[in-house]
Structure 1
Amino acid sequence: MNHRPLPLRPLAAASLALAALAATGCGARVEQDPEQAGAGAGSATATVDRCGEPVEYTTPERAVVYEGGSADKMFALGLADHVHGYVMPPANPPVSESPWADDYAAVEFLSDDLLNRELVVDAEADFVVAGWNSGFSDQRGITPEILDGLGIQSFMHTESCYNYPGFPERVEPFEGLYTDLERLGAIFGVQDRAAEVVADYRARVEAVQEQAPGGDPVPVFLYDSGTDQAFTAGSQVPPNDIIRFAGGRNVFDGLDERWTQVGWEAVVEAEPEVIVILDYGDQPAEDKIAYLEGLPALADVPAVRADDYFVLDYNEGISGPRNIDGVEKFAEYLRERAA
């Protein structure tokens, strides 16, 4: 079940005073000249951590966002008016399926390619939101440092900072989602809105945990892709939290990695009772399931024998507001399975 974002309340005059308060929980400090209060965009600055590096931001007006997780974070905060356009590679499910489909329709579709510097410059962006190694990339020549040199502000998903060189910052994946919303709220001067959204998401996750099946957590294997080896989720990506909050245990939660490869022998030895299929791209989930069922090595794996699969939408598995939908759906699946 998709949840519509909370209604955006107009910022009252009192909210301008709140802009001067420190948002210490998310590593943000906001300052505004009292004489400039109410003067509009550009009058406020916010110092916010970007993967552990304090960065001073001015209020962006022409953001470019990469993939659904980045766009959804902006839209969940009611910031569509600050988004110029989005880049959406073909692996992403159609934006028409998003809870924020109307917001996607109101901004410009820029490309279905990978994020690159030329695209950002041509769009006259003043702010870019993406993850490290998912959007930003040394190999493709688009990094926060390069954009800094071009006078273009950038924001990286906190969850992806685990792999970022130089300024390491490490939080659990769902905490990374909450942190991003709070930091974006500080950058755009909508701290109250961000606090409401985060409180709602936390409450929904707590409700899931309270209803989790009793007994030992169900061993769960996430299958992203791969033939010679399996591409799966380690402990540093949202599916790990989705699985554990719902009442399961990621069989590869001992791997201190984000997305990583494992041998099929390790999958067999882990004896997962449920397999989560990450659904994206041009290979339907049904084809992935058929591939797993056709592997002789997996024939005796409990989940394969029992035909016990759960399909997780791509945007529920990458860092973004739809993580909350993902944990609710998987929790319902586990509860029904245990009934």
Structure 2
Amino acid sequence: MPLALSRLSLCALSLLLMLPALQAAAADAGSHHPVTLDNCGTHITLKAPPQRAVSIGQNTTEILLSLGLADRMAASAVWIGDVPENLKAANDRVPRLSSGIPGLESVLGQNPDLVAAQFETDIGPRGRIASREQFASLGVPTYLSPTDCVGRLYGGDTNPDGARTRAFDMSLVYREIQELAEIFNVSARGVDLVEALRAREARAAAADAGMPADLSMVWWFSSAELSGDAWVAGQFGAPGYIMKKLGVHNIIKSQEEWPAVSWERIAEADPDVIVLGRMTRRNFPADDVAQKIDFLEHDPVTREMRAVREHHFIVLDAQAMNPTLRTLEGLEIVANGLSRLRLTGASAPDETP
């Protein structure tokens, strides 16, 4: 009995000694809330860190997973490709509402305390799911990626992908990471993730040494029809950022995010390299890289382009072709691809995150 009392006393003493640290940790955990942000022109306030977030858009999902927040995600939706291998286990724990656009009832059925979206087209004024005002009226705060509103204009039905009034750079992704980390009260994780990404950005950008000054590219995302106009990258999106970092120029000068351009016009410009988007979705035949290449090699207009004759193709996950966490992966892969094609004298940077 004395031995039991002694052990009990030691336990009580240990708890007493730990109490100040526990109290400090609890105070620190609650010190950042409520959090109020001006997010894409909308003021949002979260009284506590979300516990049942719904992410709409693959990039938003991958940022939350990278911050170690799978346990606070009720569901995800809107996917165009596979999740990176290092996030697969965490992603498998998060239910997927839909690979496409979920219905409002489906989202609300998750009882979300935050809806975080990659694209304004999903939760904007004419949102495919609902507007931010509709969510707010139901007591659900929303967060929209700065990559989709800062320097970005949507053109309605004639230009659904919108245009950019200023060039994208990774600072917008870093801002999103830091804001989401603050919302979820994991700011230190946000700092660590941004620092790691900045280091990768610096390493990959160093590949511009020895790049020919007049090297040109076109980036083919997809097409409604293989022989029809191609959705190719404008000058201010994620591909524009990558090309600027590597000292390569885009044959397309449009401010539109993904303008539709004829192959006759592309062939006339005769780019040195064609970057091809790879995705698992199959909305259009050109979503398939194999069909893209087959068309380029057999169409009487495209097969005469130098990039096609010399097979100067770089295949890139379509997720890296949008302003996302994966844009850095795109920078690394394109730098390595140019080295592989012997279009630069620089040694290829390491692609490993």
Q: CA deviation at 1:87?
A: 1.4
Greater strand fraction, Structure 1 or Structure 2? 1
SS in 2 for 1:186: helix
**1:260-299 → structure 2 map (5 Å cutoff):** 260-280=259-279, 281-282=281-282, 283-299=287-303
Q: Distance in 2 between matches of 1:127 and 1:294?
A: 49
Give yes or no for the alignment of 1:55 onto 2:44: yes
- 1:196-238 per-residue CA deviation (whole Å, 9 max, x = no partner) reads 2112111211111222242315211011122321101113432
Instruction: Using the TM superposition, give the Cα deviation of residue 114 of structure 1 relative to its aligned residue in structure 2, in angstroms.
Output: 0.7
Which of residues 135, 152, 167 is equivalent to 1:147?
135
Q: 1:305 matched to which residue of 2? A: 309
Report the Cα distance in structure 2 between the residues aligned to 1:318 and 1:98, rounded to whole angstroms. Answer: 19
Partner residue in 1 for 2:7: none
**Residue in structure 2 matched with residue 80 of structure 1 by the alignment:** 70
CA distance in 2, matches of 1:258, 1:149: 32
Q: What per-residue deviation string (whole Å, max 9, x for no partner) do you get for residues 105-138 of structure 1?
A: 1222222331331111111111112233553351
SS of residue paired to 1:307 = coil
Change (3 A) 1:188 1:169: farther
What is the identity percentage for the equivalent residue pairs of Structure 1 and Structure 2? Answer: 27
Structure label with greater radius of gyration: 2
Report if aligned partners of 2:169, 2:238 keep a CA contact under 8 Å in 1. Answer: yes
Task: Give the equivalent residue in structure 1 for 2:109.
Answer: 122
Alignment-mate amino acid for residue 77 of structure 2? V
Q: Distance in 2 between matches of 1:121 and 1:40?
A: 26
> Would you say 1:328 and 2:328 are equivalent positions?
no
Mapped pair 1:235 → 2:235: yes
Separation of aligned partners in 2, 1:223 and 1:69: 20
Q: CA deviation at 1:307?
A: 1.2
**In the TM superposition, what is the alpha-carbon distance from 1:318 to its structure 2 partner?**
2.7
| TM, length-normalised to structure 2 | 0.77
Q: Report the 3-state secondary structure (helix = DSSP H, G, I; strand = E; otherwise coil) of the residue aligned with 1:55.
A: strand
- CA distance in 2 between partners of 1:306 and 1:299 (Å): 10
In 2, are the aligned partners of 1:159 and 1:171 still within 8 Å (CA)? no
Unaligned runs of 5+ in 1: 1-12, 18-35
1:8 is aligned to none
Aligned residue pairs, count: 301
1:52·1:169 contact (CA, 8 Å) conserved in 2?
no
2:70 and 2:90 in contact (8 A); partners too:
yes
Letter in 1 for 2:251: V
SS in 1 for 2:118: strand
Distance in 2 (CA, whole Å) between partners of 1:206 and 1:267 is 31
Structure 1 residue 174: Cα displacement: 2.0
Distance in 1 between residues matched to 2:271 and 2:263, nearest whole Å: 12
**1:212-223 pair list within 5 angstroms:** 212-214=208-210, 215-216=212-213, 218-223=215-220
Change (3 A) 1:258 1:285: same
Q: Give yes or no for contact 2:320–2:328 (8 Å, CA) kept in 1.
A: yes
- Structure 1 SS opposite 2:316: strand
Structure with the bigger RCO (C-alpha within 8 Å, sep 6+) is 1
Aligned to 1:25: none
Shift in alpha-carbon separation, 1:132–1:93, aligned structure 2, 3 A: closer
| RMSD of aligned residue pairs (Cα, Å) | 2.7
CA distance in 1, matches of 2:113, 2:323: 22
8 Å contact 2:37–2:44 — kept in the other structure? yes
